[in-house]
A and B are shown apart, each in its own frame.
Chain A
Amino acid sequence: MRAPSKCKNLIVGKARNRPQRLSVIKCLTNNLNLKEELFMSTTTTELNLETILYAKKGAIAYVTLNRPKVLNALNKRTWEDLKAAFEDAQDDDVVRGVILTGAGDKAFIAGADISELTQVSAVEAEKSSTFGQEVLNLIENLGKPVIAAVNGFALGGGCETAMACTIRIAAENAKFGQPEVKLGVIPGGGGTQRFAAAHRERSRASAHSFRRNDRSAGGLSHRTR
């Protein structure tokens, strides 16, 4: 199958993957207004990623959570795929920064996979929390800037993932929250720590030079539109 001419820059893997991957890219470009010439490298296939799309263009790596039917909820496989993609981005000297976003126009990451959560024991839950924290530590300490392009719901693990990124840019329809306590648990991906740390810094900053300008009272924000 030949790629449509406007997708001529697409580099795709095995031929059998082409139709599906092209349609996924089309969906992404429609929803996120990505440039048509954004190409998908063979990396998603090479790294055997099931739940995310991973592409590189120039110095930027694009990591896109790709489970839009479940609002890009995080399950075990998603955490593993995120780890693999970010390890690749860290090791690749050509990559100098990463944009992390979610497929579709509803969710960045809506949170943990609740059906998976209902099945786990206490010991398993502790283990999965620790693993998620490791992945977010990798993102936070990548040594390269990571921008969370928050295109919708960033709840629970999604909000925690955004907080582990270097910079957060929100679409006007983005929603943030840590609703874990409503389900009888607490944030398990660093949410109790990173939000508190950010708030502490904000309080410290706002006591000094930021107080006079309420728009930057957060001390973490630089501008809006």
Chain B
Amino acid sequence: MIGAQEAYRIGLVNEVVPATDLITRSETILKQIFANAPLAVKYALEAVNKGLEMSQAEGLSLEASLFGLCAGTEDKKEGTQAFLQKRAAQFQGR
């Protein structure tokens, strides 16, 4: 059995926080992720998870396909336009 700091050292956990901060810190991280385009987050998770089970060549092919799917979304239009207009993007998850 190992403690939190050792779990952090070996890469098993991402952060160690005081017990009283556990939920608020988790909420803060989720809210940072929520600022991104939902479909892009979904496809990024899929590319990483499935990619770990594939050869690198297969993983790269999957990445290219999902990149293409993202490029067809309304959120990609909004995200790129917002970037060029130097404003915060309003993503719809479409």
Mask of B1-39 contacts with A, CB within 8 angstroms, 1/0? 111110111111111111111111111011001100010
Residues of the A chain whose Cβ atoms lie less than 8 Å from the Cβ of B45: 141-145, 166
Distance (Å) between the CB of A38 and the closest chain B CB? 9
Residue in B1, B8, B30, B41 with the greatest tally of chain A CB atoms within 10 Å: B30
Of B41, B42, B52, which one neighbours A201 at CB under 8 angstroms? B52
Q: Mark A59-100, 1 if CB is under 8 A from B, else 0.
A: 110000000000000000000000000000000010011010
Total number of B residues with any Cβ neighbor in A under 8 Å? 38
CA distance A33 to B7 in the complex (A): 23
Contact-size category for A: 35 or more
The reply to whether B18 and A171 form a contact with Cβ atoms under 8 Å apart is: yes
* CB atoms of B20 and A168 under 8 A apart: no
Distance, CA A5 to CA B16, complexed state (A): 34
Q: Does B93 contact A (CB under 8 A)?
A: yes
**Cβ 8 A contact of A141, one of B1, B12, B49:** B49
Q: Does A13 reach chain B (CB closer than 8 Å)?
A: no
Compute how far the CA of A47 lies from the CA of B1 in the bound complex, rounded to whole angstroms. 35
Contact of B25 with A220 in the complex, beta carbons under 8 Å:
no
Across the interface, do B15 and A169 meet the contact criterion of CB distance under 8 Å? Answer: yes
Q: Is A11's beta carbon under 8 Å from chain B?
A: no
The answer to whether A217 and B9 touch across the interface, beta carbons within 8 angstroms, is: yes
Note all chain A residues with C-beta closer than 8 A to B10: 199, 202, 218
Cα–Cα distance between A169 and B46 once the two chains are bound (Å): 21
- Quick check: is A140 within 8 A (CB to CB) of the other chain? yes
Say yes or no: A149-B41 contact (C-beta < 8 A), given A140-B49, A170-B4, A198-B12. Answer: no
Which B residues lie at the A interface, using CB under 8 A? Answer: 1-5, 7-27, 29-30, 33-34, 38, 41-42, 45-46, 49, 52, 93
